């Protein structure tokens, strides 16, 4: 990729992690001697193309100021009620000197592979289209409530991961429009799809796990140990 671009990253981290059953946000759980958020920040800080990292944190968060930040590229912004609000707040904080592209990554995905992030950036910039890391669904998928109603063909099913990368202005407009209309937005890609914008699927490692439950945390602790041993 020879094209010179400007790129910033956003980490929405204003959630409370209710499914973890904690009295503090899940991103402050420890993996080894660092919090989940510190591990995630460390990964993004190693991607040279990322010029700045904006973290959307709840205004009453009492833990963030105690973290050891990787470098001076990190800026805290106010988080919102939902993920889309947090990302939009971060985008608006960039308006004075907006980047061309914005990469959004979950705070609770500390296992993301740096090579996957770089592949996402290279593929999207070369095609001049937004995209997301995703992994092909491997399991048999059932549709139903108490009983299985049908088996869903998985040939074209992908599990959405992060990071997700989009042009700054297109993502800002897509999120703003979706929130004004009260649309259900679960990730940046869903806002872009709603706006009729292309979303490329870039294959990423399936161990890029999002920590949502205590079982996820235990698994990520094990995988992080294996990942660090292989470095």
d(CA 48, CA 103): 13
Q: How far is CA 150 from the centre of its chain?
A: 31
pTM listed for this prediction: 0.94
Q: Print the domain residue range for 33.
A: 7-229
pLDDT of residue 69: 84
Tell me the C-alpha distance between 104 and 130, whole Å. Answer: 12
Residue 1 forms part of a structural domain: no
| pLDDT tens-digit readout, 149-189 | 999 999 999 999 999 999 999 999 999 999 999 999 999 99
Question: Model confidence at 2, in pLDDT bands (50, 70, 90)?
Answer: low
- Report the distance separating Cα 197 and Cα 195, nearest Å: 6
Q: What is the per-residue burial (b if ≥16 Cβ within 10 Å, else e) of 32-46? A: eebbbbbbbbebbbe
- Cα-based angle 130, 163, 223 (whole degrees, multiple of 5): 150
- Reported as a single tens digit per residue, the pLDDT across 6-48 is 999 999 999 766 666 667 788 999 999 999 999 999 999 999 9
Q: Does residue 2 fall inside a structural domain?
A: no
Q: What angle is formed at CA 155 by the lines to CA 175 and CA 216, rounded to 5 degrees?
A: 65
Is 163 part of a structural domain of the chain? yes
CATH number where 150 lies:
3.90.550.10
- Per-residue confidence band for 1, with pLDDT thresholds at 50, 70 and 90: low
Examine the pLDDT at 128 and tell me if it is beyond 60. yes
Question: What Rg, from alpha-carbon coordinates, does the chain have?
Answer: 17
Say if 140 falls within a structural domain: yes
> How many structural domains compose the chain?
1
Can you give the pLDDT at residue 228?
Answer: 78
């Amino acid at each position: 990729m020879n094209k010179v671009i400007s790129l910033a990253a956003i980490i929405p981290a204003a959630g409370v992690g209710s499914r973890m059953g904690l009295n503090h946000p899940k991103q402050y759980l420890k993996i080894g001697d660092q919090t989940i958020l510190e591990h995630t920040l460390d990964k993004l800080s190693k991607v040279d193309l990322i010029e700045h990292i904006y973290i959307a944190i709840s205004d009453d968060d009492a833990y963030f100021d105690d973290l050891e930040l990787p470098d001076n590229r990190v800026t805290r912004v106010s988080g919102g009620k939902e993920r889309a609000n947090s990302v939009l707040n971060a985008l608006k904080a960039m308006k004075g000197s907006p980047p061309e592209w914005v990469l959004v990554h979950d705070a609770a995905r500390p296992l993301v592979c740096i090579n996957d992030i770089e592949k996402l950036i290279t593929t999207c910039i070369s095609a001049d289209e937004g995209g997301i890391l995703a992994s092909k669904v491997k399991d048999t998928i059932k549709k139903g409530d108490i009983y299985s109603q049908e088996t869903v063909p998985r040939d074209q099913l992908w599990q959405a991961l992060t990071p997700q990368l989009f042009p700054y202005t297109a993502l800002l407009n897509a999120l703003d429009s979706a929130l004004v209309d009260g649309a259900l937005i679960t990730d940046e890609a869903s806002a872009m799809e709603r706006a009729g914008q292309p979303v490329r699927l870039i294959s990423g490692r399936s161990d890029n796990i999002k920590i949502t439950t205590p079982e996820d945390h235990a698994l990520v602790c094990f995988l992080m140990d294996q990942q660090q041993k292989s470095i």
